Amino acid sequence: MRPATLQVRPRLVTKLTSGCPTLDRHLAGGFPFGSITEISGESGVGKTQFCLQLALLTQLPPSLGGLSSSSLFLHSEFPFPSRRLHQIAQSFLAVHRDVFSSHPSYNPLDCVFVHPLHTADHLLDEMPRIESFIESSRASRLPVRLIVIDSIAALFRSEFDNTPFDLKRRSSIFFKISGWLKSLAVKFDLAVIVTNQVVDLVGPSGGANGLRIGNLGCLNSSGRRVSPALGLSWANCVNSRIFLSREEELLVDQATGPVHRSNGETSVHGARAIRRLHVIFSPHLPYSSCEFMIAREGIRGIER
């Protein structure tokens, strides 16, 4: 076993761009390689779309923040949103047409490998096959250098009871999966993105079990106090945690202002969702947050 000298290691860890300069600034360049980044948030906040976008962006050359690589998309929430992926891929191609002009037959969807996962045991069974697939892809033009698991929570939330025995078995599987992903990340120098669902927090404030994880005292989304699912042991398994939140903002008519009707209700012209991205914990990032929106071409940060 030989030590690595930090002088030889690249000064900046290679990172996968998030596809938007504003978000990249909050993430110090994007998602780092060699470690696991978790994106958590309630349903409909944009986790899956974020992952689809990353699966395409990784095909860009390094000069544009990508890795000239293909991606492996393991999905456990059905069905796989192939229509949305196609839509994002269209705008992706339109924006980066000149990059791929040398490959006229190039189709970005060819470089996203999709594989379903049904249970945690299914993932454990598939591990050796996935590893040999990544190994064999190294010879191709675009080797796999991004693994997305969307979502890790869906694998675990149905099958396990809330008994000490099951919880113990569950957390030992967490560590097994995480250890395997991390060893892949080192061996093949790839980025790992996992998404996670949230659970509602009931009871006294101060996070799950009264322990505060990360920079924020409590996380709020849609007016509820939530926490990323799978508990404390999974929080120990990821290197960085990013939280996406959503709040409804009522749109009020600009010209007339709020009109109070006789029954006391305020007239509104619909609601707009304000989405924010928060860095909960990360070895190299301080806490920061930024507003983002979901456009046709994917997720974009909003400069304030």
Partner 1 sequence: MEVGRLPISAAQKGKLISAGYTTLSSISSLSPTLLSRDLNISETDALEIIKHASLGGTMDDCSSSRAIIGAQTAWDVLHEEESATRITTSSVDLDHILGGGISCCEVTEIGKITALTSLIQLAVNVQIPVHCGGLGGKAIYIDTEGSFMVERVLQIAQACAVEMSTSYASSHNSLPPSHILMQPEDILENIIYFRVCSYTEQIALVNYLDKFISEHREVKLVIIDSITFHFRQDFDDLALRTRLLGGMALKLMKLAKKFVLAVVLLNQVTTKYTEGSFQLSLALGDSWSHACTNRIILYWNCDERYAYIDKSPSLRSTSAPYAVTSSGIRNSVSKCQQILRTQAT
**Considering only CA atoms, which of 289, 283, 245, 230 is closest in space to residue 36?**
283
210 CB contacts (<8 Å, ≥6 apart)? 204
Q: Are 273 and 246 in contact (CB under 8 A)?
A: yes
Q: Which is nearer to partner 1, 232 or 250 (CB)?
A: 232
Tokens of 244: 């996406």
Q: Does 72 bind partner 1 (CB under 8 A)?
A: no
Q: Does 235 bind partner 1 (CB under 8 A)?
A: yes
Q: Are 57 and 66 in contact (CB under 8 A)?
A: yes
List 25, 115, 176, 225, residue binding partner 1 (CB under 8 A): 176
Site string for partner 1, 17-46 (x = CB under 8 A): -----------x---x-xxx----------
Tokens 């992926």 map to which residue? 85
Helices of type H across 96-230: 120-137, 152-156, 164-187
Site string for partner 1, 141-170 (x = CB under 8 A): -----------------------x--x---
List 239, 277, 290, 298, residue binding partner 1 (CB under 8 A): 239
| Smallest separation (angstroms) from partner 1 to the CB of 179 | 5
Helix/strand/coil for 56: helix
- In the chain, the N- to C-terminal Cα span, in Å, equals 49
- Binding positions for partner 1, rule: CB under 8 A: 1, 3-7, 9-13, 28, 32, 34-36, 164, 167, 171-173, 175-176, 179, 182-183, 185-187, 209-214, 217, 231-233, 235-236, 239, 281-284, 286
